[in-house]
Amino acid sequence: MLAKATVTVDLAKITENASRVVEALGGRAVVGVTKVTCASPEVARAMLAGGVAGLADSRLENLASLRASGIEAPLWLLRSPVPALAEDAVRFADISLESEIDTVVALDAAAARLGKKHSIVVMVDLGDLREGIMPAELPAFLERASALANIDILGIGLSLTCYGAIVPDAENLGELVALTHAAETQLGHRLLVSGGMSSSLDALIEGTLPDRVDSLRIGESILLGVSTVTRERILGLHTDAIVVEAPVIECLVKPSLPTGTSAQDAFGGFPVFENRGIRRRAICAIGRQDVDPDGLVPVDSRVEVLGASSDHLVLDVDAMSPPPRIGDGIAFVPSYSATLRLFTSPYVEKLYR
């Protein structure tokens, strides 16, 4: 009997996935991104055991948690802090991704107060329209940042696929390398080329990832085993390192069409239903507050996700014989968006094995 919705993480599979990604990249540094698990220390250690060179997260609270758990690996801050949080950024992050010179100035002042140096990767926007300065602005940015006594310019980086869904390819990655070469000439020292995230693994497989790209920030592919371009399995990775189970709280035979006058659902949508006759339906104790129901793939192919409200997940289980009982767990492999909500929800238990 399952009492509440539970995420189970197979740490050995995460370690193996990390190891395979590190091996596939052939000496390039892999920074393991922990943000989808809210920087679970267990997951972070599993990534480190697989050979990642550092850990990255978008939230300072998560980096502070990693440090408090005793992790000493280099930590990257993926989302630039507002200047008011510069001191926390310097305290908890060794490296941050930056695109606003005012923020870098604030980081320099914070580093001076703390008696530290802070490294930055300067982000350029090469088409995805999330963070990054436009390429023409890079020389002036580097000139100002290089004059700051407590800032080390570690490298040049980009972000692709997460917002604009732009795929890393020979053109945009080649432009990143060219910009880095120009920046190296301007600064007089070698720079790291941070060539994107999990989506850049597709460029590796296709042979279009430039040799000069020497670092990638990888999260989803290590944790979920899929390409972020196609959402299909990649590099022979495990796709079931993270599984969620939710307990059945009702299992009854009902019509497949609602009756009465239809309006908006709880989230302002106008649902459409297919008339499939009388069917057995199960309700599980998990909902949209905890998970993206569209991102749940049932482990048992006889189960079909019909939809969800805030706290209830509705399933078609008519093909299951015998039908599930109250308290039985129904298992799902979650997508990235589903995993993100599962780890953020305080109502979902997390187990590590």
Amino acid 266: pLDDT: 84
* Residue 35 annotated as catalytic: yes
pTM (predicted TM-score):
0.95
In this model, does residue 267 exceed pLDDT 90? no
Identify the burial level of 225 via C-beta atoms within 10 angstroms of its C-beta, where 0-12 means exposed, 13-18 middle and 19 or more buried. Answer: buried
In a domain, 58, yes or no: yes
Among 13, 35, 117, 350, the active-site one is: 35
The residue among 156, 190, 224 that closes a domain is 224
Per the prediction, the chain carries an average pLDDT of: 97
Show the domain range for 264. 242-352
Strands 278-284 vs 313-316: parallel, antiparallel or unpaired: antiparallel
In a domain, 40, yes or no: yes
Single-letter amino acid code for the residue at 111: A
Instruction: Please tell me whether residues 16 and 130 are part of one structural domain.
Output: yes
Strands 6-9 vs 349-352: parallel, antiparallel or unpaired: parallel
Beta bridge partners of 30: 216
Please report, for the domain that includes residue 163, its CATH number.
Answer: 3.20.20.10
Domain count across the chain: 2
Closest CA to 93 of 78, 112, 105, 114: 78
Instruction: Please tell me whether residues 16 and 137 are part of one structural domain.
Output: yes
For the segment 78-130, what is each residue's pLDDT rounded down to a tens digit?
Answer: 999 999 999 999 999 999 999 999 999 999 999 999 999 999 999 999 999 99
Rg for the chain, CA atoms, rounded: 23
**Spatial distance between the Cα atoms of 76 and 121, rounded to a whole number of angstroms:** 10
For the segment 288-329, what is each residue's pLDDT rounded down to a tens digit?
Answer: 999 999 999 999 999 999 999 999 999 999 999 999 999 999
**Spatial distance between the Cα atoms of 155 and 215, rounded to a whole number of angstroms:** 10
